[in-house]
Amino acid sequence: MGWIKVVGIGPGDINDMTLKACNSLKECDIVVGYTTYINLIKPLIKDKEIISSGMRREVDRCKKAVELALQGKNVCVVSSGDAGIYGMAGLMYEVVHKENIDLKIEVIPGVTALNAAAAILGAPVMQDFAVISLSDHLISWQVIEKKLELSSQADFVIVLYNPKSRERPENIIKAQQIVMKYKREDIPVGIVKNASREGQQLIITTLKEMANYEIDMRTIVIIGNESTFVEKGKMITPRGYIL
Amino acid sequence: MGWIKVVGIGPGDINDMTLKACNSLKECDIVVGYTTYINLIKPLIKDKEIISSGMRREVDRCKKAVELALQGKNVCVVSSGDAGIYGMAGLMYEVVHKENIDLKIEVIPGVTALNAAAAILGAPVMQDFAVISLSDHLISWQVIEKKLELSSQADFVIVLYNPKSRERPENIIKAQQIVMKYKREDIPVGIVKNASREGQQLIITTLKEMANYEIDMRTIVIIGNESTFVEKGKMITPRGYIL
């Protein structure tokens, strides 16, 4: 029987991958993944069998990986960013447990989009933070709304994943309005599109103005806390050291 | 004038470092860091000048890096995990801005402790999460308490950094009691000590029992949400896919 590794490939640039992730790809027989992510790591997996499929085929990909591992293949299931944060790690375990198969699964952690976006913006996440996906595909909007309300009230730095899709363009506006009930409207907001990928774009604006900029599913939005400031083009949430 | 890179070296194992972090260390003249972290990457920096110092010397280390860069040296300031999450990135910018020096600073993102701990536990952070440091060295306990209250109320997965120190052994108990006001006492809790380092230890327990285990500053505690479960020794927060 083969093994399955769920590999976080980082935000996009191969240089943001870990050595362990690179080595896992080298050691496997087959790479399974979402087409966009497969394309990001193409140079590393030229000599491998590749099974790629489109969005929302996550369950199928995990089942395919199980099937291949049972045939004796060593399989890497790739996930962008960190496989354990809105990635494929959980689903992979669920599929294996449901089928009651005794397969070896290992999760290889990676640099998640928030780490990459923060590094590009400066240092906006140096204090306690909340991470919220605005996608209501798998979770009800009511649950997301509650998290936005309470994390704003607690003045967390707030990191938004999946802030906008064609199907729900209004979620980001709704989120902004909730956060504005509790945070000053001039609090800095960083918007990073395609962090560490081709087409990287960076905007530093305010809570009030954030919705005026282009935001899509490949964008990470970081909303500061009460102490966040912008200086020389960098967004910084001070950790609290006295200089 | 030289450059400064603030490099996230990941949780500890050199294989969890990114290629960019490795290359930054290779390309620099001098590595500045906390002694413990310097020791983790020793094999990679054998031929480099090293300036290491103890805990709470963070400001001094940043000032030293500036001094060296002004002398024309290329300097890596290392930070464990991700430099942008409770790391050195923010302080480095603050020091440079305060001295009003026009130095090139780059933050190299890394795998933070929560990514590593989650990968070891299974997949406990697949839904929205809040990250809270229990260290009240730089932040008042009242502020931390408010974050614990509201994030528990919102049923975030909660990740605790710096859960316990010799100076404040009671903070973890206080945190547990706050979380228990809102979350079921049988909710799974993962405790990972020395994630991806020598002496790695892993415990999966419950909110009620968590304080009975050894927890220190090198431990990450992950408290599940309403849907988190334990199966075959893995802690999983399902993303919500229907199998």
Q: Do B90 and A237 touch (CB under 8 A)?
A: yes
Mean pLDDT value across residues B118-139: 96
Indicate the CATH number of A4-111 among 3.40.50.300, 3.40.1010.10, 3.30.310.80, 3.30.465.10. Answer: 3.40.1010.10
Q: Do B16 and A17 touch (CB under 8 A)?
A: no
Q: Do A154 and B156 touch (CB under 8 A)?
A: no
Q: Do B13 and A23 touch (CB under 8 A)?
A: no
Name the residue in chain B with its Cα closest to that of A237: B90
pLDDT score for B241: 87
Which residues in chain B are closer than 8 Å to A26, comparing Cβ atoms?
A: none
CATH 3.40.1010.10 in chain B: give the residue spans. Answer: 3-111
Which residues in chain B are closer than 8 Å to A147, comparing Cβ atoms?
A: 128, 154-156
- Which percentage of chain B shows pLDDT scores above 70? 100
pLDDT score for B141: 95
pLDDT score for A196: 92
Q: How confident is the prediction for chain B on average, in pLDDT? A: 95
pLDDT score for B137: 87
pLDDT score for B54: 83
Read off the pLDDT of residues B32-52 as tens digits, 9 standing for 90 and up. 999 999 999 999 999 999 999
**CATH topology (fold) of A114-236:** 3.30.950
Name the residue in chain A with its Cα closest to that of B92: A123
Which residues in chain A are closer than 8 Å to B227, comparing Cβ atoms?
A: none
Find the CB nearest A18 among B16, B97, B125: B16
The whole-angstrom distance between A130's CA and the closest CA on chain B is 4
pLDDT score for A55: 78
The whole-angstrom distance between A177's CA and the closest CA on chain B is 18
Pick out chain A residues at pLDDT < 50: none
Whether B13 has its CB under 8 Å from any CB of chain A: the answer is: yes
Question: What is the 3-state secondary structure of chain B?
Answer: CCEEEEEECECCCHHHCEHHHHHHHHHCCEEEEEHHHHHHCHHHCCCCEEEEECCCCHHHHHHHHHHHHHCCCCEEEEECECCCCCCCHHHHHHHHHHCCCCCEEEEECCCCHHHHHHHHHEECCCCCEEEEECCCCCCCHHHHHHHHHHHHHCCCEEEEECCCCCCCCCHHHHHHHHHHCCCCCCCEEEEEECCCCCCCEEEEEECCCHHHCCCCCCEEEEECCCCCEEECCEEECCCCCCC
Tokens encoding B158: 């909660």
* Helix, coil or strand: residue A156: coil
ipTM: 0.97
- Which percentage of chain B shows pLDDT scores above 90? 91
The whole-angstrom distance between A2's CA and the closest CA on chain B is 19
pLDDT score for B92: 97
Assigned architecture for domain B3-111: 3-Layer(aba) Sandwich (3.40)
Inter-residue contact B110 to B81 (CB < 8 Å): yes
pLDDT score for B166: 78
pLDDT score for A67: 97
pLDDT score for B39: 93
Which residues in chain A are closer than 8 Å to B94, comparing Cβ atoms?
A: 236, 238, 241, 243
Interface of A with B in 34-93 (CB under 8 A): 58-59, 82-87, 89-93
Which residues in chain A are closer than 8 Å to B107, comparing Cβ atoms?
A: 118-119, 122-123
Mean pLDDT value across residues B58-65: 95
CATH 3.40.1010.10 in chain A: give the residue spans. Answer: 4-111
Read off the pLDDT of residues B89-98 as tens digits, 9 standing for 90 and up. 999 999 999 9
Find the CB nearest A123 among B89, B120, B156: B89
Name the residue in chain A with its Cα closest to that of B115: A109
pLDDT score for B240: 87
